[in-house]
Amino acid sequence: MIDLDALTSLRAVDSHGSVVAAAEALGFTPSAVSQQIKRLERSSGVPLLERVGRGVMLTRHGRHLVDHGGRLLAELEQLEAGLHRQAATVAGEVRLTAFSTAMRGLVAASVPAVLADHPQLEVALSEREPWDTIDLVARGESDLGVVHSWGDVPLEIPDHLVATRVATDLADVIVHRDHPLASKDRVTPRDLVDEGWIATPEGSICRQWLHRMYVGTGRVPRIAHVAMEFDSHLALVRAGLGIALVPRLGRASLTADLVAVPATDPVPSRTVLALHRRSMSDSPAVQALLQAIRAEGRRSGPHT
């Protein structure tokens, strides 16, 4: 009999390229993951992993097991969700992954009430970038993910995931109150071509959108400083070190020395989506959390 937990570990090793990385993703120790896979090799009678440099890769037998076992795990997940739906039970553990401003503006505001209503439910939260969240949900390492898509910046979502729109958010150009732009009703990219930006790291979705804003100006944004968190962006603007493009969702209240100026041509807007696997569609726990996050998105509607 194939050990399903061991099969999950083998699939995680395939996804992450090493036992250590798989263990970190699953919340196990590397020793536990290794032991599970060794038991799976003993029960199946074939080698499942082979070492390649400092990492490992699946053998032909391991690939067969992961490819066919993945469908089995999805069917079992669907079966369990259907049983919970029939029993109308909101219980068990749901792994929820979201980007930072959604964690502050949507998840923290909605999850406590769901847990209070359903004491048998447990929720494990993890903060990740959208692309990481999509991968985690797609691989079965997270059950519900909250991601964002800026304007026309592409966000590829696998077919076996269901995407539900939960909010629309806008971003403003944040400047110091003494900055010449602070008196404007709105700004366009052409007003900003000579400014120094405080931006998120290269490769992030927000950084990509900042570059898209400049299309047609013949220029690219001048990045003066890089910071991961938008709270850091506000602090650096407050210190007079540049300007920043900061979303409204999850944004801290602006102090008197900061001014939010709306932008146009284009308007910096993003769609916030919640993702889950189709096999989890019947899960009352996933649906309870999804509905709560959607309700919070509607309630706190002044993002738009």
- Is it the case that residue 244 has pLDDT exceeding 90? yes
pLDDT of residue 77: 63
Of all residues in the chain, the percent with pLDDT exceeding 70 is: 92
Confidence of residue 65 (pLDDT cuts 50, 70, 90): confident
Query: Which domains, ranges and CATH numbers included, belong to the chain?
Result: 4-84 (1.10.10.10), 91-304 (3.40.190.290)
HEC string of 211-277 equals HHHCCCCCCCCEEEEECCCHHHHHHHHHCCCCEEEEECCCCCCCCCCEEEEEECCCCCEEEEEEEEE
pLDDT of residue 179: 97
Average pLDDT of the chain?
88
Average pLDDT of the segment spanning 210-226: 94
Torsion of Cα atoms, 296 then 266 then 127 then 200, to 10°? -150
pLDDT of residue 87: 53
User: Is residue 143 a contact partner of residue 136, using CB atoms and an 8 Å limit?
Assistant: no
Whole-model pTM?
0.75
